[in-house]
Amino acid sequence: MILVSGATGTAGKEIVLQLASLGILTKALVRDMAKATPFRGKCVHVAVGDLNEPTTLEEAFQAVDRALLLPANNANQVEQERTFIDTAKRAGVQHIVKFSALGADDPKSASRIIRWHAEAEDYLEASGLAWTHLRPCIFMQNLLGSAASIAGEGAFYSPLGDTRVAHVDVRDIAAVALETLTERGHEGKAYTITGPEALTYSEVAEKLTAALGKPVRHVDVPPEQFKQSLLGAGMPDWSADALLEIFEHVMKPLGAQVTNVVAEIARKAPITFDQFTRDNAAAFSGKQ
């Protein structure tokens, strides 16, 4: 059986549902059973556990031989990942696939989140367990967070200027995760997962314009102004700073790289931004 942590998040949910759709025994690890509604009727086992409370994980790992470690970004992220790895090892888990991030091969990154991922990767590699690292670029689905402004104002905002980013659809990340969790030969490997093209946000706006049939523009804003908008939306101060670090120290130098991982590992054509915008046109039009 495969255990998936972070199962109710954007990527985790997609991974669980893709595994279950193929009839693969899957257990979703959740902190709150009320959030497990997407898995009802999907032949998914649900286990309640908290990475801050090791004893709650022991039952979750029963009958599990492989696991996906998908951490939430927070100040004690590394400790939580170590807890997951240690508990998995005691339970006899054979292989952990770690959901990491673009740039996590740099333990000295100026981004704290990337440093945390790098530290957890190192800990997993030293654990004696078989491991695989998934290092995706920014999700296409993150743009859905701007759906309201795109629908209402015909605009979305970022501090990335003309930076090129190879956004990747979470459906493709999940397809790669599925292969690494169910097939042999991925042990000891790290995969950088990107979309098929590196686009500026102005080009993204053009694709939204074409899909929606109305003008959409990208508005470049100074980092501090962008941070204030995040704080106004309820994001904690440290988290807003961490996101800006990702933009400045990961996306600007690394975001434009395009890999063939989706095609080579998942054996499928990667989803384009054009397809993503068509698939989500109702959300960007304010109709859902």
Question: Per-residue pLDDT for 203 more than 90?
Answer: yes
At residue 35, the pLDDT reads 86
How large is the average pLDDT for residues 31-36?
87
Fold observed for domain 2-137+169-193: Rossmann fold (3.40.50)
* Res. 32 pLDDT band, cuts 50 70 90: confident
At residue 160, the pLDDT reads 96
For helices 170-182 and 10-21, angle between their N-to-C axes, nearest 10 degrees: 50
Each residue's pLDDT tens digit, 111-139: 999 999 999 999 999 999 999 999 999 99
How large is the average pLDDT for residues 192-201?
98
Residue 90 · residue 57 · CB < 8 Å = no
pTM reported for the whole predicted model: 0.96
Q: What are the structural domain ranges in the chain?
A: 2-137+169-193
Indicate the SS3 state at residue 191.
Answer: strand
Each residue's pLDDT tens digit, 149-160: 999 999 999 999
Residue 51 · residue 84 · CB < 8 Å = yes
How large is the average pLDDT for residues 23-32?
93
Least confident of 40-54, 87-101, 224-238: 40-54
* Res. 41 pLDDT band, cuts 50 70 90: confident
Which burial class, exposed, middle or buried, applies to 129 when counting CB atoms under 10 A from its CB (0-12, 13-18, 19+)? middle
At residue 17, the pLDDT reads 95
User: What's 235-269 look like in SS3?
Assistant: CCHHHHHHHHHHHHHHHHHHCCCCCCHHHHHCCCC
User: What's 111-126 look like in SS3?
Assistant: CHHHHHHHHHHHHHHC
Question: Per-residue pLDDT for 38 more than 90?
Answer: no
Which amino acid, one-letter code, is at 166? A
pLDDT > 70: percent of the chain: 100
Which amino acid, one-letter code, is at 187? E
Task: Spell out a b/e string for 144-170, using b for 16 or more CB atoms within 10 Å of the CB, else e.
Answer: eebbeebbeeeebbbbbeebbbbbbbb
